[in-house]
Structure 1
């Protein structure tokens, strides 16, 4: 039998969905991360626009504001995975982003009434709203991405994180200095969220079957490659909880994502303080140096994407081998540079900036390496897996500053900072070793739609579609048209 040659349009609705997710991630990251610039503008009006209220907040109060988002974010990750399986990704993601936009719009009003305590409160609510979004994103990618394109569409959409990081720093700084001042940062963030909701409402669909704009060729390509059953889109597949929590590949993914977050949070939050205290560099006041690592991360994400496409298209690496190779680069190179930064002197500032930029830039490979691995393991339960992983992972940025606070008593003490960097480097190294041993990009047996209805399910791991490149030989289902 001849191989399937009709793969739909080169650019189709699946790419529109990936673009919507990219814009979604960019938008929510701008709303999440603009707090750094906003707090500076509120507590030091002379650096931005002095026509707006200025507040005298202590460093402790500022730290509460910075962390308050995650107080809410951690509680709705698991809920988001459950809701989008029950009610569909389109509605859950819409209300999550809309709620985040409302919180942004109300932020200046809350601050006017209750200052930093009210700021913390509205940030908690924003965290609750945004917590449902990433489980929805992974479920949406699983529903819309043909296995052969899953890596590309997933990486493209997730590059919105780097775009959001860079945009939050540059846009927030320019807005704070403009005529609308620091309140404008929240208003612009809200406007972006509401604009995205409008596009999402018009163009998004829970799956290809429900899309109003998709062509028959692309619909057949997507649905046939995903190998769905006849009533797949009409039923809610039971979640095999015990199989998930006892799955070695899933547990390995959870471990590696926790280690990745520890390393990245150390790079993001602690190295600027180290460079200020030990190397005498005020990184936070220099927008270029602050944004440079994330600009490198954004550029490198596309380098990794192009390289991955070339390697997979030429069958030079299996998807599992590709994931592990990229993850090793993304973990072990920053592990080495973290230790190296701890041994630099004050006359080696340029080298320190270069090493930090390399660390953050190379770390972008973790998106292809392990971040989207939930979709490989279980396309049917990707939202549940992401909800579990993100719930555990969100604890890390809360714990990391506490550990640093216990170790570092003086910002200019190099020896204490070296301990912090060594801990992060060791976790990055060990986390990747766990992933190398137990990780895989092969769909697991418990992903099967009838897994819980079979009395004695087979324990052998079936090859993923990524690995074999085989589709099904049936004609498109009439009920799907």
Structure 2
């Protein structure tokens, strides 16, 4: 059976838009495994600090490694160790986001012009190659070489969210947007879960280098499968059925990606109150999210003194909760909107507010739980779980504001938000030189304040309506809108 025949037989198992959503979900899974694995690997790469459990009990006593059942040596034995300071580690962890920010807007423009398929897949392929090269850079070039390589990884992965937004805008009808959008974007949480858990497992029994080799190879496998099965839009997809094509025509309108799309109306976008509010909410969410992604394993190791495998295990639990709640809240949002119980605008504001206020409160609770490890983990799991409601909230809001320029909008919001990925690990490094609980408590209070301020701004200015600048003046008529409204009129009659 040829590759094409295999793809054809696979495509008929599920609607092609669902296949696209599944592969988009897996795209974020592999992207986040490569992004987050360093947060666990760095525990085994860096020489541990010499300290004692003093400072008013701000450092918890060591936990016996209950998971090392095979009599293995400790994770740091016979491995290359680096003497990086807390600030240097902060720069290593944050450097990915320097490159990540740079390619967001170019990635969105390329995806809108040439389609999301290759913009997404080639970016992840390049990130996979740089991930595999990370151990070589660390051993032969030190932390500066790792910083450079992580910046290159960020350049490759910076196209991911803009390209996915373009794919979703081309494939997903409005009535399925919260559900499928939450499912796809929830891949980031599953990627974090797998990255933490499996990376901890690999480091327990193998050299830390294997963490990077493993995730790089998995991502290359994804690239091959995605390239065979997925297309940028329904019009160019030979795998789509006539039934699904008719359905998407009725729900979305014109299926072929517009090639006459004028340049992105940046002036109108940056003057838009809903857009500025969306950027503000993205900054607030990303600040808290990136602190958790980059530094939660360090908190588990440096403050709670967990062994490395338990660091990976317990650091992964919050993301399982976050993914489950993101999917459930996406279905709830679609149900409430579809029944006319709430408007799209109110839904975006409600779920965004829940995703910011309650997580901020629970991470503060974690910082006041001392060395009660199970209570701390419980607070973190609850906080990150509730944060999952942000996906049917502001995360899909760019698709509401402008389906035609969804890639550019996602690039702008996610790119600016990703600046917090540069700042937050460095901020943590400066604020926690002794890695004590009291130092971390200050970090969490700052995070709560940022959550509250950005949420208030978003709730005042957000909108779920398509903006006028979605339809450029160069078009005599907004054809997509007319096609869609005409199809809806035919269905209603």
Matched, 1:336 2:358: no
Q: Distance in 2 between matches of 1:340 and 1:437?
A: 28
Query: Where in structure 2 are the equivalents of 1:443-458 lying within 5 Å?
Result: 443-448=466-471, 450-453=472-475
Give the equivalent residue in structure 2 for 1:146.
173
Matched, 1:392 2:431: no
- The structure 2 residue matched to 1:79, chosen from 87, 97, 106, is 106
Matched, 1:252 2:274: no
Matched, 1:323 2:345: no
Secondary structure at 1:47's aligned position in 2? coil
Give the equivalent residue in structure 2 for 1:6.
none
Q: Distance in 2 between matches of 1:57 and 1:193?
A: 29
- Residue 404 of structure 1, CA deviation: 4.8
What whole-Å deviation, never above 9, does each CA across 1:308-336 have from its counterpart, x for those lacking one?
Answer: 24323433222222222211211121233
Secondary structure at 1:114's aligned position in 2? helix
Query: Where in structure 2 are the equivalents of 1:73-472 lying within 5 Å?
Result: 73-178=100-205, 181-228=207-254, 233-268=258-293, 281-282=304-305, 285=308, 286-287=310-311, 288-342=313-367, 344=368, 346=370, 349-404=373-428, 411-412=435-436, 414=438, 418-448=441-471, 450-453=472-475, 471-472=487-488
Of 207-216 and 429-438, deviating more is: 429-438
- Residue 269 of structure 1, CA deviation: 5.1
Q: Distance in 1 between matches of 2:77 and 2:373?
A: 33
> 2:115, 2:167 within 8 Å by CA — same for their partners in 1?
no
Q: Distance in 2 between matches of 1:338 and 1:113?
A: 38
Q: Distance in 2 between matches of 1:165 and 1:271?
A: 11
Q: Distance in 2 between matches of 1:187 and 1:445?
A: 47
- Residue 174 of structure 1, CA deviation: 2.2
- Residue 409 of structure 1, CA deviation: 6.6
- The structure 1 residue matched to 2:39, chosen from 22, 36, 39, is 36
Q: Distance in 2 between matches of 1:333 and 1:168?
A: 25
Unaligned runs of 5+ in 1: 1-8, 476-481
Secondary structure at 1:379's aligned position in 2? coil
Q: Distance in 2 between matches of 1:49 and 1:215?
A: 54
Secondary structure at 1:212's aligned position in 2? coil
> 1:84, 1:92 within 8 Å by CA — same for their partners in 2?
yes
- Residue 405 of structure 1, CA deviation: 5.7
Secondary structure at 1:395's aligned position in 2? helix
What whole-Å deviation, never above 9, does each CA across 1:383-434 have from its counterpart, x for those lacking one?
Answer: 10111112211111322345456666765474x6555433322221222222
> 1:104, 1:186 within 8 Å by CA — same for their partners in 2?
yes
What whole-Å deviation, never above 9, does each CA across 1:173-223 have from its counterpart, x for those lacking one?
Answer: 2223445x3222222212111111111111111100110100112112213
Q: Distance in 2 between matches of 1:105 and 1:122?
A: 10
- Residue 369 of structure 1, CA deviation: 0.9
- Distance change in 2, residues 1:315/1:249 (3 Å): same
- TM-score, with normalisation over the residues of structure 2? 0.82
- RMSD value, Cα: 3.1
> 2:94, 2:422 within 8 Å by CA — same for their partners in 1?
yes
What whole-Å deviation, never above 9, does each CA across 1:262-316 have from its counterpart, x for those lacking one?
Answer: 2333445567767878xx6225743332222222212222331332243234332
Q: Distance in 2 between matches of 1:153 and 1:470?
A: 25
What whole-Å deviation, never above 9, does each CA across 1:209-257 have from its counterpart, x for those lacking one?
Answer: 110100112112213322339x753323332221111111111000011
Unaligned runs of 5+ in 2: 1-11, 48-71
- Distance change in 2, residues 1:418/1:178 (3 Å): closer
Q: Distance in 1 between matches of 2:147 and 2:430?
A: 24
Q: Number of residue pairs matched?
A: 451
- Distance change in 2, residues 1:341/1:191 (3 Å): closer
- Residue 438 of structure 1, CA deviation: 1.4
- Residue 49 of structure 1, CA deviation: 7.5
> 1:146, 1:221 within 8 Å by CA — same for their partners in 2?
no
Q: Distance in 1 between matches of 2:283 and 2:126?
A: 27
Give the equivalent residue in structure 2 for 1:67.
94
- Residue 452 of structure 1, CA deviation: 4.2
Q: Distance in 2 between matches of 1:109 and 1:397?
A: 24
Secondary structure at 1:346's aligned position in 2? coil
> 2:202, 2:211 within 8 Å by CA — same for their partners in 1?
yes
Q: Distance in 2 between matches of 1:118 and 1:63?
A: 15
